[in-house]
Structure 1
Amino acid sequence: MGFPKGRRPVVVAVAALLALVAAAAIGYRVLAPAEVSTPAKGDLPPAGTPAIGTVGRLPVAPLIVDGRLRVYAAERQVYADQPADSRYRVTPFWSYRRWPAQLNGVLAEGTTVVSRWSDGKLVALDARTGRVAWRADGPEPGAGFTSRRTGAATVWDPRGISVAAGPPGRPVLVVSGEGRLRGYALADGGELWRVDGDPDCRTDLGTTAAGRVVSVDSCAGPATVEFRDVATGGVATRWRPPDAGTELTVTPVGCLTPRSQCRGLRTSGPGDAAGRGWLVGPGEPVAAPTLDVEDVTLAGDLAVGNIGPVLTGREARTGKERWRRGDLGEVRVIATEPGRVHVLTGAKELVTLDSVTGAERSRFPLTVGREGTGWDPGRAYAADGYVAVERLREGARPDDDDPAWFLTAEPVVLAAT
């Protein structure tokens, strides 16, 4: 039995409309903005003391938090596993996803993990549970997930997001993007201050150990370094290196974490390729010639780097030598953390030194299984006595794709020192 001829077009039209509505509903469910939070189902284990040596290899770069778990970045996800000394990546302890925004940066301070997204949203997670602690709107970064497949740039070197000590017991999160600079209370995400400017003539660099926000401003004249109070956002000091030209490149040095709580700067300009080093504190920067060399870094109050084949630790302010190690051969300082300097030898041995005395704390080959030492170090990171290093193919070039860039599918080697 069919429909009358006069009703048949109406039925067809209704059916088509219903199909369109169903397709739209499905499309909305798939493509609509979404947030999926999967908190931990149990408690974190007590902090342990891992055995010194290579722990294992990982496909992605870990951010060590509280010495007990590892936090990772993916294009639309931040997640964690534990324990920190697990040989391989294991089932996530907790996970947080957003769609369609992309993860742009991750920063950890204490047990708070702050994630920054391409739409400007800031989401803080309690690292112990994975639950959302707070959300806030921030400046858009102007980019999405910019890391290679390990996510190292997102967790080890996030741009436009840093932290500093504010009033006693109140760390301040500083976020910048597209000319806007914001300060937030890390505890609850409350906005403390805001500064707007021209992104074409101001570059925000990070924070100092003295509680300042560092920017380079060239909007009203020659490039000038601005130091803002992290608690209020107000300009405390404007400074230019003596004899500086109109152009100025400024690089933070000796940061506790990338671009956070830095103790020094290196400045350079046209015709000054070597650059000049400075110590930063509550007032104007103080010249530190020991930091003029690009490969020298700050470890506490000491400038650590090579003088020929000898690794030395010298007082950054006076240049007075405090220790030297001529027994290591050609080495490269790959990471520092409070009290420790981690260097990699030409034979791919990871040597950890006491940053104050130069005494050796540990030494072992940074190898996994039978993979050998035929690789070049990429990005590196250290926290809580752990060191993680990307292993690159020898001779790899920055424009290579990931398979040609990384040594293996699990290119990150993790070690306990």
Structure 2
Amino acid sequence: MALRNLPRRSRNAVIAALTVALIAAAGVTVWRVLRPTEVIAAATSTYPEATIPIPGRVGSLISAPLIVEDRLRVYAKKREVWSDGPPSYHYERSAYWSYRRWPAQVTEIVLVHQGNRPLIVTSWSDGLLVALEAESGNVAWRQQGDTLQDEYAGRRTGAQTVYPTSRLLTTEQGFITSNSYIRGYAADGTENWKRLTPTTPECHGTEFTTQHQWLVLDTCTKTLKRLDTRTGAALPELPINAAVVEPIACVSGHSQCRAMRTTGETAQGWILTGPEPRESKPLAHPGSTLVQQIVATADAENTVTGRDPETGQALWTWQAPSPIQLLASGTDRVFVLLTDRTLAGLDLKTGENLTRSGVNYPPEPESPYAISNVYTANRYIVLERVNPNIPADANDDTYYFTHRPVLVAIA
């Protein structure tokens, strides 16, 4: 019988029932789309082989990578962490594995090692910590922690998220989270200790880690406050009388830094590889870096000098063919980027030019660029390139050097 032939009361009842059914169906659909979800797309192919290509430019990427064992690149965007490989491939590839959560956002990621097992520890805007196995993309563990940041802040490249300078930092034993509490974790996700942050929010300056310490500049007292990352015990404050602290020779971001430069009435350099800082006069030089037991300084427009970290005595010099733009620490060499877009790798003992090659891409603009983030892994160097003298709050198209601003090269 047609609906129009039913009595009015019956017709209204049928319409009401259909309406309730449609609303319920729509609600189910909305819930399926918007409910909290976790999507794991584990690796289905073999772990990429380690590759070190010939020196020079390797790739021009949109996203900034963490490089794992010369085999894998790991990236982050708003709600997803994913990987591809090998690192020598010139563009991003289809995901080797990926991990996504909804509606939480990625806030920081770091690489830690549980024995010989590399893990990607990820923090999320709802406070959850999730460790992913680098080889497979499977979840190794989950741990509810503090909300370290309310939302993704990585912009186009994700560099701020992939190379964090605060909140989630690694140590030799595991990693540290910092908010109102400082918490020390083992690589397996076990929380070993926690304590209140030793600074007030308005005095909390630059924070960073060494292998065994967490340090923060108290901008009110101009001292460095320290914790032992193995036990959480407070260590004596360092009265450096500095307004600015620059971590140097870090593994990634502000994690496991081997040195620092402090600036107050004068600049001072410090080596942080022991239980107490040791002053290093050559590290006070702007732009200098520490590689193993050598301090590399740019002493003139185109001269690099390797110096004894204690005495400052010159051990070798290298004359560059053009002005120096950047010195960076590699595993066994000094990376030198020149203004003509040449990348050189220098031997630590002799200053010999081991490698030198152009890293310019012909289609890219020939105008100068500034470097906002530097990351090195073995012989790889990753540069996040931005346009000079552009404020950081400019839109991405104005701020970044090109649509693919992340340069990956080998020295």
* TM-score normalised according to structure 2 size: 0.89
5+ unaligned residues in a row in structure 1: which ranges?
166-170
The number of aligned residues is 400
Q: How far apart are 1:297 and its partner, in Å? A: 2.1
Partner residue in 2 for 1:362: 355
5+ unaligned residues in a row in structure 2: which ranges?
none
Distance in 2 between residues matched to 1:380 and 1:251, nearest whole Å: 14
**8 A contact 1:329–1:346 mirrored in 2:** yes
Q: Report 1:4-403 matches (<5 A).
A: 4-110=7-113, 111-165=118-172, 171-177=173-179, 179-186=180-187, 188-197=188-197, 198-203=200-205, 205-209=207-211, 211-217=212-218, 222-241=221-240, 244=241, 248-269=243-264, 272=265, 275-309=267-301, 310-371=303-364, 373-378=366-371, 379-393=373-387, 396-403=390-397
Distance in 1 between residues matched to 2:124 and 2:150, nearest whole Å: 9
Answer yes or no: is 1:409 the counterpart of 2:403: yes
Distance in 1 between residues matched to 2:68 and 2:310, nearest whole Å: 32
Distance in 2 between residues matched to 1:334 and 1:29, nearest whole Å: 51
**8 A contact 1:227–1:236 mirrored in 2:** yes
**8 A contact 1:55–1:414 mirrored in 2:** yes
Distance in 1 between residues matched to 2:22 and 2:289, nearest whole Å: 64
Q: How far apart are 1:3 and its partner, in Å? A: 3.8
SS in 2 for 1:20: helix
Distance in 2 between residues matched to 1:156 and 1:357, nearest whole Å: 31
Distance in 2 between residues matched to 1:372 and 1:224, nearest whole Å: 44
SS in 1 for 2:17: helix
Residues 1:331 and 1:204: Cα distance change in structure 2 (over 3 Å): closer
More displaced 10-residue stretch of structure 1: 307-316 or 131-140: 307-316
Q: How far apart are 1:287 and its partner, in Å? A: 2.5
More displaced 10-residue stretch of structure 1: 24-33 or 388-397: 388-397
Q: How far apart are 1:330 and its partner, in Å? A: 1.5
Q: How far apart are 1:393 and its partner, in Å? A: 4.1
Distance in 2 between residues matched to 1:356 and 1:143, nearest whole Å: 46
Residues 243-293 of structure 1, C-alpha deviations (whole Å, 9 max, x = no match):
x2xx74333222222222212222334xx3x53322235444232232223
Residues 130-182 of structure 1, C-alpha deviations (whole Å, 9 max, x = no match):
111111122212332212211122223453211112xxxxx2211112x2211
Residues 1:412 and 1:254: Cα distance change in structure 2 (over 3 Å): closer
Q: What's the C-alpha RMSD, in Å, of the aligned pairs?
A: 2.4
Q: One-letter code of the match for 1:250? A: V
More displaced 10-residue stretch of structure 1: 379-388 or 74-83: 379-388
**8 A contact 2:346–2:352 mirrored in 1:** yes
Q: How far apart are 1:81 and its partner, in Å? A: 0.8
SS in 1 for 2:94: coil
Residues 1:250 and 1:150: Cα distance change in structure 2 (over 3 Å): same
**8 A contact 1:121–1:136 mirrored in 2:** yes
Distance in 1 between residues matched to 2:330 and 2:61, nearest whole Å: 22
Distance in 2 between residues matched to 1:376 and 1:237, nearest whole Å: 42
Q: How far apart are 1:90 and its partner, in Å? A: 1.2
Partner residue in 2 for 1:168: none
Distance in 2 between residues matched to 1:413 and 1:325, nearest whole Å: 25
More displaced 10-residue stretch of structure 1: 112-121 or 321-330: 321-330
Distance in 2 between residues matched to 1:93 and 1:16, nearest whole Å: 45
Q: One-letter code of the match for 1:154? A: T
Distance in 1 between residues matched to 2:126 and 2:165, nearest whole Å: 16
* TM-score normalised according to structure 1 size: 0.88
Question: Identity over the aligned pairs, expressed in percent?
Answer: 33
More displaced 10-residue stretch of structure 1: 195-204 or 106-115: 195-204
